[in-house]
Amino acid sequence: MHGTTKLAAAASAFAAAALVASPASAGAAKEKCYGIALAGKNGCHAGPGTSCAGTSTIDYQGNAWKYVAKGSCVKKGGTLAPHAGNAPPSPQ
């Protein structure tokens, strides 16, 4: 390979590695949003009987959360704190 070709290949490999290592949302602010996760799609610890991500047992479980963009939780019908029940969210 010529020097220019090697340099271009190295730059392409570096750019691809950077994309894999840093997802688009890495710098975005997030918040925990309770009551919007579907069964098995929660973040971590959804109350008694669960241990971590993916362990919620029912849709919209009030003590199960998932990360959403900061400021969007209430708009999606969720809450910023755990709550009783599992009613479907009512987007605002």
pTM above 0.75, yes or no: no
Give pLDDT, residue 57: 84
Residue given tokens 């009512």 in the structure block: 90
Percent of the chain with pLDDT over 70: 63
Alpha-carbon distance of 7 to 46, in angstroms, equals 49
Alpha-carbon distance of 54 to 73, in angstroms, equals 19
Residue 32 has pLDDT above 80, yes or no: yes
Give pLDDT, residue 34: 93
**What is the arithmetic mean of pLDDT over 26-50?**
81
pLDDT, tens only, 3-23:
554 544 444 444 444 433 334
Instruction: Specify whether the CB–CB gap between 57 and 84 falls below 8 A.
Output: no
Name which residue leads in pLDDT, 33 or 24: 33
Alpha-carbon distance of 76 to 70, in angstroms, equals 11
